[in-house]
Structure 1
Amino acid sequence: MSVPVSPGNSRYIWAFPRNFDIWVDKVLPRWMAHMATNIILDSDLYLLHVEERKIKEMGPKNWQKACFLPIKSDALVVGFRNWFSKYGDGKIDWKGKYTDDLPPTPPREQLMDRYWTHVVNCSSCNGAYKALNATETIIKVVSVGLIGIVAATTQGMLSAAARTKLAVLATVCYVTSRWLAHFIYNNFRYHDYSHSSPEKVMLLVRIWKAGLS
């Protein structure tokens, strides 16, 4: 459920109760489930942002001109929009607190930001974010330390094989720290989403065909 809190901003309330595969919740930490959920939200967020402005441009009474709703599953959306137009004049009554003007479109990184919109308020994701950042820092320090050992030791202090092993281990630690840093940023800070990739276009086509059947 999405609850409007100000023009252009909503609070998303999501729950998925179930009585199957409950054991998964006991094994996997909650932040892993949130990563999967955020991917779904990212796939919709930018489109909804653009669509909101198209409806604003067309006018709330002409929302059909800004939307294409051809499948059976769209009936709920059509029903809501008709109800909203009939009883709310297609607009939210902000009781004088806000005008109906939408704020300017922010940069994509700000619009699809994950940290301030979710991570900082989620105990599980925030804990994972801090723990993974600490782990990334430790691995990076180990990498630098190993490189320092290799550089500081002379040929007589360590064998060539030992120096090679330390150099390889330092490289592995460095690569791991870089991968972990990318993972943290991609899942807890900002994850871009391309709606035009062939795989995602084909997925949308399959969903559309399924809705027509």
Structure 2
Amino acid sequence: MGRQETNFVAPAMMYHDLTSKQFGRTLTVVYATPIGKGKCRLFARFPFKFSSKIPKFFIKLTPRWYSHIGQNGVLEDDQIFLHHQERYLEQKGGSSKFAKAFYLPTKADLFVFQLHIWISQYQAQLFPEQSLSPALSSETLLDRYHSHTKHCSSCRTALKN
């Protein structure tokens, strides 16, 4: 498949780089921007440089809303878990206590660890005047219309048509 590398730049950027001789290079670049306590808006870009012009041609033909269907599914996979984990961490004393609140033994946990190190190092207390909302139901957390569609011009337009 080629070389794959994922990097995290604290506090808010993650990028995944996939390079192969056969397909070219594709990136997934995601910025998480806090908009309230326990809430963030993601900005994602997917720059690519394909070895052939054929994939680029088909990507240009694909409506933006269509790609959002699959991209949101990836985010929703962890939505419920993260929502409850955030409340658990707050009960345990917040980011400064994350190492005691959670066991993070794998390489996949590294970015979570790095984020909380950054928060502690810079004493970043976002929205200190706010408190987390009460725990939400799974149905509410996975309600794509309210979390995405009504805010996305591409998906809103597609829904109207």
Question: Is TM more than 0.5 here?
Answer: yes
Letter in 2 for 1:11: R
Name stretches of at least 5 consecutive residues in structure 2 with no aligned partner: 1-30
Letter in 2 for 1:122: C
Cα-to-partner distance string for 1:152-208 (whole Å, 9 max, x where unaligned): xxxxxxxxxxxxxxxxxxxxxxxxxxxxxxxxxxxxxxxxxxxxxxxxxxxxxxxxx
Q: Quote the sequence identity (%).
A: 34
The structure where helix makes up a greater share of residues is 1
> Aligned partners of 1:93 and 1:40: how far apart in 2?
26
Cα-to-partner distance string for 1:65-110 (whole Å, 9 max, x where unaligned): 333322224323322211211211xx5243x6x23x2111223222
Alpha-carbon shift at residue 8 of structure 1 (Å): 1.9
Looking at both structures, which has the greater relative contact order when contacts are Cα pairs under 8 Å and sequence separation is at least 6?
A: 1
Cα-to-partner distance string for 1:118-143 (whole Å, 9 max, x where unaligned): 21222221222122xxxxxxxxxxxx
Cα-to-partner distance string for 1:31-52 (whole Å, 9 max, x where unaligned): 1110000110110211110110
Q: How does 1:30-179 map to 2 (within 5 A)?
A: 30-60=64-94, 61-88=96-123, 91-94=124-127, 98-99=129-130, 101-131=131-161
**Cα distance 1:26–1:63, how it changes in 2: closer, same or farther (>3 A)?**
same
> Aligned partners of 2:134 and 2:57: how far apart in 1?
44
Letter in 1 for 2:56: I
Are the aligned partners of 1:51 and 1:66 in contact in 2 as well (CA < 8 Å)? no
1:7 aligns with one of 34, 37, 40: 37
> Aligned partners of 2:104 and 2:57: how far apart in 1?
38
> Aligned partners of 2:72 and 2:126: how far apart in 1?
30
Q: What RMSD in Å do the two structures reach over aligned CA positions?
A: 2.0
Letter in 2 for 1:108: S
Name stretches of at least 5 consecutive residues in structure 1 with no aligned partner: 132-213
14-23 or 53-62, larger mean C-alpha shift: 14-23
Letter in 2 for 1:85: S
User: What is the DSSP-based 3-state SS (H/G/I as helix, E as strand, rest coil) of the residue aligned with 1:14?
Assistant: strand
4+ aligned runs moved over 3 Å, structure 1: none
Q: TM-score, length-normalised on structure 2?
A: 0.68
Letter in 2 for 1:80: L
**Cα distance 1:26–1:50, how it changes in 2: closer, same or farther (>3 A)?**
same
The structure where strand makes up a greater share of residues is 2
Q: How does 1:8-23 map to 2 (within 5 A)?
A: 8-20=38-50, 21-23=55-57
